[in-house]
Structure 1
Amino acid sequence: MDVDDTVTPLQHYERRVELPLFWASLVFLAAYSVIALAPDGERFWRDIAVVVALVMWAVFAADYLVRLRLSGRRLRGFLRTHWLDTVVLVLPLLRPLRLLKVYTAVQSRRETPKLSLHARVISYAGTGAVLLGYAGALTVYQAEHRAPGATIRTFGDALWWACETLTTVGYGDVTPVTPLGRMIAVGMMICGLALLGAVTGSFSSWLVQVFTREDEKRPPEDGRPPGAEPS
């Protein structure tokens, strides 16, 4: 099989590891869920979840170092071009933001996409919103539920708050009161605006294309065939 000389070692590596790393990120999210939601009496399971989360983070750190090595750049230059990799290494719960890279890596092994452009945008935005919303709810619940004057007391409250924030509704019935909770809220607002804008723009573009095709197929009112010049 011929090897594409235009593919760099870093790109070849990313194509091979993006999908396994995505599954590793789901394992990390599951472990963090146990840490955040396990009752105080379940110390054994919480300790196991901490170990699993640390192992997964070590995997992410090793992946980051391999990417840095294969890029052939100094750390400063790598940080400029791979800032998202740096962010998700420091904050692993943000790894759903790498879904686009996961899709690109998987799609590079196929000749043609299975979904249309609009369906891909909506699928990416929807999946990213669900994972980010769940991760945000976990984090804000852990930061808020024991804080004095907190309105987010249960994980259900946190999920409701995450839905309000990501959809930019903001009823105000439950709000974070801690500095960490408010920082998470700002990040969720930014992500919500970006994802909502992507879905709305893609859906609007799809509607325009559908209506345009219908207009092209419709015969003119004067009886001329489609595309014919007026007499």
Structure 2
Amino acid sequence: MSDRPGPEATARLTRWEQRTEVPLFLAGLLFLTGYAVRVLAPHDAQPWHDISLTLVWSTWLLFLVDYVTRLRLSGLGYRFPRVHWLDTVVLLLPLLRPLRMVQVYQAVQRRRDRPRLNLYARVMTYAGMTVGLLGFAAALAVYNLEHRTPDASIRTFGDAVWWACATLTTVGYGDATPVTFWGRVVAAGLMACGLALLGAVTGSFSSWLIQVFAREDEKRPPERG
């Protein structure tokens, strides 16, 4: 049986994704805010811990509803988790939601017609924002995992932000590095995910430049022999 849904299922799924793109992006920001409060607020900071926990779980339920809805609209049934494996991973680890931008970029690249220039600008803007959000989420996760470890070099959230910036830009100064197992897992994921998102930004920018130059050539009057 083919893994490709029919045209009607594809159209329904596309309409749903277009309608929920902005609300889910805002829900992702709320989830990250709740997680940040959980990590950075003092342990006795009530009722902020309870509010942040409610925020995290309520937004995750929105992600679950979206996942189940797209599963039903896709027409793929039990094959949906395998075909849309990235969506499944993002549901289990909501801090990775910025990675869905890679799918948007791939969809733009697969279009047979030439996408509008503002679509490339949209992809670049969205991907640039999600690179920052991914780095912030990784900094929160690494700080939460590392700062209580006796031999850790990441003691403050500022250290974690510095580490995330150095990792995303592939500079890697080495002055702040994770020492725990899960901290290094987050670091490896940030390296791979950061390269994918930065590739989406640079790829879209290159395609945008090519279209700009092509349109300028089309507007240019033909040279006389």
Instruction: After TM superposition, give the deviation of residue 8 of structure 1 in Å.
Output: 3.0
Higher share of residues assigned helix: 2
Match of 1:66 among 66, 69, 73: 69
- Report 1:36-75 matches (<5 A): 36-75=39-78
Q: Using the alignment, how far apart are the partners of 1:33 and 1:21 within structure 2? A: 18
Instruction: Identify the residue that residue 128 of structure 1 maps to in structure 2.
Output: 130
Does the Cα contact within 8 Å between 1:144 and 1:153 map onto a contact in 2?
yes
SS in 1 for 2:53: helix
- Report 1:181-200 matches (<5 A): 181-200=183-202
Q: Using the alignment, how far apart are the partners of 1:9 and 1:187 within structure 2? A: 32
Larger-gyration structure (1/2): 1
Provide structure 1 residue ranges, at least 5 long, that are not aligned to the other structure.
Answer: 105-111, 219-224
* TM-score, with length taken from structure 1: 0.77
* Segment drifting more, 120-129 vs 152-161: 120-129
Q: Deviations over 1:167-203 (max 9, x none)?
A: 0000000000111110111111112222333444455
Identity %: 59
Q: Which amino acid aligns with 1:93?
A: L
Instruction: After TM superposition, give the deviation of residue 46 of structure 1 in Å.
Output: 0.8
Q: Using the alignment, how far apart are the partners of 2:210 and 2:17 within structure 1? A: 36
Q: Deviations over 1:133-158 (max 9, x none)?
A: 11111111111111121111111111
SS in 1 for 2:47: helix
Change (3 A) 1:120 1:147: same
Q: Which amino acid aligns with 1:227?
A: E
- Report 1:1-231 matches (<5 A): 8-75=11-78, 77-99=79-101, 113=116, 115=118, 117=120, 119-203=121-205, 227-229=223-225
The RMSD of aligned alpha carbons is: 3.1
SS in 2 for 1:51: helix
* TM-score, with length taken from structure 2: 0.79
Q: Which amino acid aligns with 1:160?
A: W
Q: Using the alignment, how far apart are the partners of 1:123 and 1:37 within structure 2? A: 28
Does the Cα contact within 8 Å between 2:135 and 2:164 map onto a contact in 1?
yes
Provide structure 2 residue ranges, at least 5 long, that are not aligned to the other structure.
Answer: 1-6, 108-114
Q: How many residues align?
A: 211
